[in-house]
Amino acid sequence: MCEHSFVNSPRLDAADSSRRGPTRILHADLDAFFASVEQRDDPSLRGRPIAVGGGVVLAASYEARAFGVRGAMGGTEARRRCPDLRFVRPRMSAYSEASAAVFEIFRETSPVVEGISIDEAFLDVSGLRRLAGEPADIATRLRARVRAEVGLPISVGIASTKALAKVASAVGKPDGLCEVPIGGELDFLHPLPIERLWGVGPANSAKLRARGIRTVGELAAVPRTAVASIVGRGSAAHLCALAGNEDPRRVRTRARRRSMGAQRALGRAPRTAEEHDAVLVALAERVTGRMRSADRVGRCITLRVRFADFTAVTRSVTLPEATAHTATILAGVRRAYRHASPLIEERGCTLLGISIGHLDDADAVQLALPFDVYAGDTLDHAVDAVRDKFGAAAVRRAAGLRAGRGVEMPMLPD
Amino acid sequence: MRFRCERDVLVDGLSTAGRAVSSRGGAQPVLAGIRMILQGDRLELTGSDLELTISVELTVAGDTDGEIVIPSRLALDIVKALEPGAVTIDTEGEEARITGGRSQFSLHLIPAEEYPPLVAPTGESLTIGAAEFAEGLRQVVPAASTDDSRPILTGVLLAREGTGLRLVSTDSYRLAVRDLPGTSVLAEGQKVLVPSRALTEVARALQSASELTLLLGERDASFLIDGVRLSTRLIEGEFPNYRGLIPQSQPNRLTVGRTALIDALRRVKLMAREATPVRLTMSADGLELVAITQDVGQAHEQLDAQYEGTDLTVAFNPDYLMNGLDVTPGDEVSIETVDTLKPALLRSLETTDFLYLLMPVRVS
């Protein structure tokens, strides 16, 4: 839980603030989202360690986390750590529904909401003091509404920057509120372990700790050039800025997506290349359909492969032209898969995902010579029309049928 | 094996043969090497990735015959770095010693017996003029696709047309067609699909040659140019039916100076960033080029041109348009259009041997 002292609302210094007041950003993050939805809907699961997923843990309840069960952990390992663990099959439609309801509350709370995943968002409440009160009051009401109207616990961090608000919500978890007072940012940030910073994963954490850098304050005391020699120049610039609470990014409403993707967990059973291909076909169909309905085209295709040991690699292919043409994207996806296939054969594959990046509005599309009417986008448009009328499952590529339904991760609306 | 050779001659040979060596290594490590076969004073250097094989024959001062496979990249870098003058290569066991001036390198060899047998060229040998063929390659090869996921489009079609030879390539966005009416190498109805990568190397080798000999087999083609032999596998499959796409005439016709358009396009293109197109507005007043990139800026340029037809604005990928203008011969070109969504036909006013068909970019 958060230190109580941080929850005190700051006094406004009228001299140094514009009429809008200082920037105050909320980071709202649902706690153990999938697991919380299951516990909400099935009273017998409440208070018990549960994991959502099949072969692999997609989400673990806080009761399970106490035993060391983590997301992306294999089922066997999870049961070893927590013999009483109850596995619940995921219900993605329930999560999408809950997410939509929570985002509705976000949007009623502030006009400036930036969703960053299905279960978290930034809200800019800087200008809302007169209308809605102090940020801490707004956050308290937000948490109460999510609890009362959707039945889910949510943690909120309040700070002057996005990065710090995200750190604060993590400190506040579970089911907590944590405000970093204006002027108290570095006092709050510096005692925290470096892993709290956005961008310090296991790799950077190990490198920094090996040099005796354990807290954010210790990191802030090291010159940027020295940090660069430990984690590389790109990471160093990012981490040093965060350690000094420099994060100029604003909360952007409905930021245009730079990429669109879909992924599918495959479980731990070995699959053939043909089965993988069927999954890729289904993913490519889904993503390109969404791209077309959002009028977006892209040229950078990234395939993400997670291995049986939970490490992951990505392989990218760049097309000469941006497109939302299913067959063209699929060809690129297959090419990326071929690049990854030696590793897949060696290490097994538990998740396949694709994303199309460098998205552009489809306002400039290089047309193709009409060698064959079915090769162009005529086919896609016909398929889209059928799906609009009869639903997404009405028409599918035969090659994708073998992919079955699997576990599909819900996504933010495009 | 032991021989002596001028450094520059050896550098040329190693770099030419090395162009067929796959940079990615491929499945067989031996293919990262160049095979050297010495018989008397005749040294043959061969590089191959099994798709494309390039052999170079050099005359050297031979001492002891032999066959070795030497790491391609490293051998070239070493020989290139030596002092000018004579270079000696001799082998001892598993190593080759490269000596030049006062430098000496010894280099581990790749076992020569692992080198895969390469198919000897087959088919009747036909000799054609280098200059015209080289020009044809320069015109069509750039329009071939580089996307390996569409293998057929990575090839250039060589087909008999009338009594001559026709070269065709397309990456599906543009189509380049060159006729060589005086070059009769193919039989009636015969056509082959040659990888554009091989033809790029052929064009390079043709720079200083006056003629080349072509051998067409069932599955492979070989080009013999001044002691260099390039053999490539042919691409199997049916080239798209391009004939129906080439219009006899189109309703709108713009005539413009080629160099003037190239220069203007080069300037305007600076503002066509991140794959935004350049718009060509054609009217009785002439031609206007416009490029607008959101959040960056815009460029306009007005050009003198003759135009017959209805006023029209068509957008193109500037690089594709530039490619077409670069390889179209003559001082003046015509651009024929139908509307904003149909292919535009680019031709020289001086010759009908070459045409370039380009699909527009659809803008909203």
Task: Report the mean per-residue pLDDT for chain B.
Answer: 92
Looking at the fold, whether B273 and B238 belong to one and the same domain comes out as: no
Last residue within a domain, chosen from A93, A114, A138: A93
CATH of the domain at A236: 1.10.150.20
Looking at the fold, whether B239 and B252 belong to one and the same domain comes out as: no
Q: What's the confidence (pLDDT) of residue A374?
A: 41
Cis? peptide before A174, omega within 30° of 0: yes
Tell me how far apart the alpha carbons of residues B269 and B230 are, in angstroms, rounded to a whole number: 37
Looking at the fold, whether B130 and B239 belong to one and the same domain comes out as: yes
Tell me how far apart the alpha carbons of residues B332 and A59 are, in angstroms, rounded to a whole number: 67
Residues of the domain holding B293: 248-358
Domain count, chain B: 3
Confidence check: pLDDT of B247 > 50: yes
Looking at the fold, whether B296 and B223 belong to one and the same domain comes out as: no
How far is residue A154 CA from its own chain's centroid?
16
Looking at the fold, whether B258 and B351 belong to one and the same domain comes out as: yes
CA separation, residue B301 to residues B113, B167, B252, B337, B364 (Å): 63, 34, 21, 20, 22
Looking at the fold, whether B138 and B238 belong to one and the same domain comes out as: yes
Of A299, A332, A368, the CB nearest to B172: A368
Interface contact flag, A371 B245, Cβ < 8 Å: yes
Q: What is the pLDDT of residues B153-184, one digit of tens each?
A: 999 999 998 889 999 999 989 999 999 988 88
Q: Would you tell me how many other CB atoms lie within 10 Å of the CB of residue A76?
A: 10
For residue B9, being part of any structural domain is answered with yes
Write phi, then psi, for B81 (nearest 5 degrees): -85, -10
Looking at the fold, whether A193 and A309 belong to one and the same domain comes out as: no
Q: Is A68 helix (H, G, I), strand (E, B) or coil?
A: coil
A to B CB pairs, distance under 8 Å:
64
So what's the ipTM on this one? 0.83
Taking alpha carbons only, the member of A158, A213, A208, A214 closest to residue A188 is: A158
Q: What is the pLDDT of residues B59-109, one digit of tens each?
A: 999 999 999 999 999 999 999 999 999 999 999 989 999 999 999 999 999
Q: What's the confidence (pLDDT) of residue A393?
A: 66
Q: Contact A29/A123 with Cβ under 8 angstroms?
A: no
What type of residue sits at position B127?
T
A300 CB within 8 Å of a chain B CB: no
Q: What's the confidence (pLDDT) of residue A373?
A: 42
Looking at the fold, whether B200 and B295 belong to one and the same domain comes out as: no
Q: What's the confidence (pLDDT) of residue B184?
A: 80
Q: What is the pLDDT of residues B41-56, one digit of tens each?
A: 999 999 999 899 999 9
B341 CB within 8 Å of a chain A CB: yes
Q: What is the pLDDT of residues A315-324, one digit of tens each?
A: 998 887 778 8
Q: Would you tell me how many other CB atoms lie within 10 Å of the CB of residue A286?
A: 21
For residue B94, being part of any structural domain is answered with yes
Q: What's the confidence (pLDDT) of residue B93?
A: 87
Name the stretches of chain A with pLDDT < 50.
1-18, 373-374, 412-414
Q: Contact B106/B96 with Cβ under 8 angstroms?
A: yes
- Catalytic residue IDs of A: 120
Question: What is the end-to-end Cα distance of chain B in Å, rounded?
Answer: 68
Q: What's the confidence (pLDDT) of residue A11?
A: 39
Last residue within a domain, chosen from B114, B148, B174: B114
Q: What's the confidence (pLDDT) of residue A403?
A: 60
Last residue within a domain, chosen from B47, B79, B114: B114
Interface contact flag, A360 B275, Cβ < 8 Å: yes
Confidence check: pLDDT of B275 > 80: no
Domain count, chain A: 3
Looking at the fold, whether A203 and A293 belong to one and the same domain comes out as: no
Last residue within a domain, chosen from B217, B244, B271: B244
CB < 8 Å from B in window 244-273 of A: none
Helices A326-347, A273-293: crossing angle, 10 deg rounding? 140
For residue A220, being part of any structural domain is answered with yes
Instruction: Count the alpha carbons within 13 Å of A10 in the hemisphere toward its beta carbon.
Output: 21
What type of residue sits at position B274?
E
Q: Contact B167/B203 with Cβ under 8 angstroms?
A: no
Q: Return the H-helix or E-strand segment holding A348.
A: none
CA separation, residue A70 to residues A49, A62, A66, A92, A377 (Å): 12, 10, 10, 19, 43
Q: What's the confidence (pLDDT) of residue A21?
A: 74
Tell me how far apart the alpha carbons of residues B227 and A202 are, in angstroms, rounded to a whole number: 58
Looking at the fold, whether B91 and B156 belong to one and the same domain comes out as: no
The whole-model pTM stands at 0.59
Write phi, then psi, for A359 (nearest 5 degrees): -70, 140
Q: Contact B119/B157 with Cβ under 8 angstroms?
A: no
Q: Is A222 helix (H, G, I), strand (E, B) or coil?
A: coil
Looking at the fold, whether A197 and A292 belong to one and the same domain comes out as: no
Q: Which two tokens stand for residue A95?
A: 């999560």
